[in-house]
Structure 1
Amino acid sequence: MLRVAGATAATAASPPIGGDEPEEQAREALRRIAAALEQVGAGPEHAMSTRLYVTDISR
């Protein structure tokens, strides 16, 4: 079993990738998850579930 946690669109020195666009931030977080899975020979098709946390659903 493999678990990937804590994927965000945050960067160390600038605003998150995708700026204020939740869809773009989600795409970046999922891209990072796919990259982590790839490093161990897995892919998104091996994921059983995902969770997204939204801090401001009105946006």
Structure 2
Amino acid sequence: MPLVVLPDGREHRADDPAAAQVLSTLLDRPLHLRRQSSVPHHRRRLRSRDARAA
């Protein structure tokens, strides 16, 4: 599960409802965290970066 790390060092698991609330307050707008869609964006980006490094 992804971990949300705030600038002040607090950490919240992405599936923790408190994470969305804290981010909403920090950004001064409603925010909802949800599971990623069927496209694993972060994995694709990591593979691309790893390929460039090789």
Q: Provide TM-score, normalisation by structure 2.
A: 0.35
Higher-Rg member (1/2):
2
Q: As a proportion of its length, which structure holds more helix?
A: 2
The one of the two structures with greater contact order (alpha-carbon pairs below 8 A, sep at least 6) is: 1
Q: Provide TM-score, normalisation by structure 1.
A: 0.32
